[in-house]
Amino acid sequence: MQETIPWNLRCGIVILGDSAVGKSSLLHRFTEGTFDEYSQSPLGIDFKVHNMNFDPDVVIKLLLWDTAGQERFRSICKSYMRNSVGCILMFDVSQRQTFDRVCSWHQEVLDYVKPNPMFFLLVGHKCDLAVGRQVRKSEGEALAKKLNMVAYLEVSTKENINVSEAFETLTRGIYNLFLKGKIPTRNDWHGLAVGAPIKKETPETKKSACCNYG
């Protein structure tokens, strides 16, 4: 008997937040497993693919978009928002102003993707910085609740705290909503795409899986 599926769901996730909150570091830690304190921010956009397994027969292919938070890159960010169903919205717990800007990021994204849905995970980043902390965990939790987000998580890329949990929590939230029929899929929207189950057999069938989403 042939084994069913490798990838049958494809999910776009965009990482947003002010400059220097740690977006690129988080994506790098999650996909490459390392942290480099001195690495440079990318100009514009970076892109990674990561497969996630929840059930033995369901693989979710994540398309992960890193963005630069600077004003001049906003127009680039927009096209990636349009191809995403999930957003990791980050602030730096040691920089109060980055927390204060979360509401406007959130509203801006919703306005832009309308009428398509977007599901958010709020990340209070750099939680290793206990001494310089300017935002309490309870404030992050309250804001995520107020904005109807999937969850709030405190993350440290540097100390590798809650890194994979962040991606898993958001993806699982989206997956569960999808199973409940709360996320529509449409041909003209690529945030969440469903591919027909395929047979895991040869390199050829694997190749066709990639093209399965149209």
Ligand X SMILES: Nc1nc2c(ncn2[C@@H]2O[C@H](COP(=O)(O)OP(=O)(O)O)[C@@H](O)[C@H]2O)c(=O)[nH]1
Binding site for ligand X (CB under 6 A): 19-25, 37, 41, 69, 125-126, 128-129, 156-158
- Binding segment for Mg ion (CB under 5 A), chosen from 28-36, 41-49, 54-62, 113-121, is 41-49
Minimum distance of ligand X from residue 85's CB (angstroms): 21
Nearer to ligand X, 163 or 192 (CB): 163
Nearer to Mg ion, 24 or 83 (CB): 24
Minimum distance of ligand X from residue 83's CB (angstroms): 20
User: CA 150 from chain center: how many Å?
Assistant: 12
DSSP characters for 119-187? EEEEEEE-TT--TT--S-HHHHHHHHHHTT-SEEEEEBTTTTBSHHHHHHHHHHHHHHHHHTT-S---T
Measured distance between the N- and C-terminal CA atoms of the chain, rounded to whole angstroms: 27
Task: Check binding of 41 to Mg ion (CB under 5 A).
Answer: yes
Nearer to ligand X, 20 or 52 (CB): 20
Phi and psi, residue 92, nearest 5°: -105, 120
Minimum distance of Mg ion from residue 40's CB (angstroms): 8
Residues 141-180 close enough to bind Mg ion by CB under 5 A: none
Nearer to ligand X, 84 or 156 (CB): 156
Is-contact 50 99, C-beta < 8 A? no
Minimum distance of ligand X from residue 18's CB (angstroms): 7
Residues 8, 24, 94, 98: which binds Mg ion (CB under 5 A)?
24
What's the full length of the chain, in residues? 214
Q: Which does 20 bind (CB under 5 to 8 A by kind): Mg ion, ligand X, none?
A: ligand X
Q: Please give the DSSP secondary-structure letter assigned to residue 55.
A: S
Nearer to ligand X, 87 or 209 (CB): 87
State how far the Cα of 47 lies from the Cα of 13, in Å rounded to an integer: 10
State how far the Cα of 105 lies from the Cα of 130, in Å rounded to an integer: 25
Task: Check binding of 70 to Mg ion (CB under 5 A).
Answer: no
